[in-house]
Amino acid sequence: MWFVVLGIVIMLLATCIKQYYRLAQMRRQMDYLNPLIETVENVKDIIYYCEIPQLKYNYLSPAVNQFGPNIYERHMKDPYKIYELVHPEDYEKLEHKATGKMDFSKPLTIRLLNDKGNYVWFEEYATPVYKEGQLVALQGILRNIDDKMKLQKQLEYEVSHDGLTNVYNRTFFQTKMGIFNKVEDVPIGVIICDLDQLKYINDTYGHQTGDRLIIEAANILTNCANEETIIARLGGDEFAILLPKSTEEDVVAYINKVIQSLNYHNSFNESLQIHISMGYSYIHSSIQNMDCLYSEADHQMYTAKNAKKVLARLRK
């Protein structure tokens, strides 16, 4: 009998020793994992693991609280609140991610609303989790790239805009000319503008006064335009204007509006008179016609400019 008891005691003792070593191993693993867990909990990136199709967070890092107080608790309780934060234009991207329709090899860029009422750009790398061939969860990391996006937009703006006047520059204008010449067929008008006597003003009153004249001329051209109009400074005193999807009557109406605005400006600014020579051309189909259209408008502008010079000489 005592042999049976001894056997049971030995088995229990072995089990206890086994459990002891298992617990010791788990403690060592936890000691190893604790710094990792602490690091994850303190990074600024948002890390998550979410079950789908019924959204349920198995993990959501506290970094989500950058959107406002108690956001973590609210989103753990109701994961669908993410749809209240996403920018309307990015809503479809989020839906495609949740249904597995996006390309998971590429990052997802979305805008999310913070507690200050501003949309902030985030870049997300999401990884699908499959079980028996079915998409069951998503895990991912979101990083704030708002400063990067703002810098990118600023650089894009500087590349396409004139530094003095903030209208488009020659490079952008030539790009749009190429698009309308080879890709997008539209009825279009081209206007070429040249400031009169800018060299005289620069030589007499200085380049700062000349720059003021150029800036004010650009403002007038811009204020007379609609959303479709493309205004560019080609350099020096020359501007070019594209009026896509317009009629010839629209082009003439724009020119008349600019003339009226110039007259109004000049009536109140005797010391900074603005005079512009303009020429235009129009065609119903832009494909393969943009170079000819530009040349015709340029020719019309110089004809108008020379006529002014002749008239000025006759008046003398």
Mean pLDDT of 147-167: 93
- Which of 3.40.50.300, 3.90.25.10, 2.60.120.10, 3.30.450.20 would CATH assign to domain 42-150? 3.30.450.20
Q: Give every CB contact of residue 151 below 8 A, 6+ residues apart in sequence.
A: none
pLDDT category at 170 given cuts 50, 70, 90 is very high
Q: Is 1 helix (H, G, I), strand (E, B) or coil?
A: coil
Does the pLDDT at position 5 exceed 50? no
Determine the pLDDT at residue 271: 81
H helix intervals, 57-145: 71-77, 82-85, 91-98
If pLDDT is split at 50, 70 and 90, which confidence band does 66 have?
Answer: confident
- Contact residues for 25 (Cβ-Cβ < 8 A; gap 6+): none
Q: Could you tell me if 265 and 276 are in contact, meaning their C-beta atoms sit under 8 angstroms apart?
A: no
Element (H, E) at 232: strand 230-235
pLDDT digits (tens, 9 = 90+) for 18-57: 665 565 565 555 454 455 445 545 568 898 999 998 999 9
Determine the pLDDT at residue 197. 87
Closest CA to 143 of 42, 43, 36: 43
Give the tokens for residue 148. 């990067």
pTM: 0.71
- Of residues 147 and 29, which shows the higher confidence score? 147
Residues 6+ apart with CB under 8 A from 219: 165
Average pLDDT in the chain: 87
Q: Are 40 and 63 in contact (CB under 8 A)?
A: no
Task: Give Cα separations from 197 to 53, 125, 222, 309 (angstroms).
Answer: 69, 58, 21, 10
* Domain limits, the chain: 42-150, 161-315
Average pLDDT value for residue range 243-269: 95
119/67 Cα distance (integer angstroms): 10
Q: Span 161-315: which CATH code?
A: 3.30.70.270
What is the reported pLDDT for 311? 55
The per-residue pLDDT for 56 is 93
The pLDDT tens digits for 261-298 are 999 999 988 888 999 999 999 999 999 999 999 999 99
How far, in Å, CA of 47 to CA of 28, rounded?
A: 25
- Type of residue found at 230: I
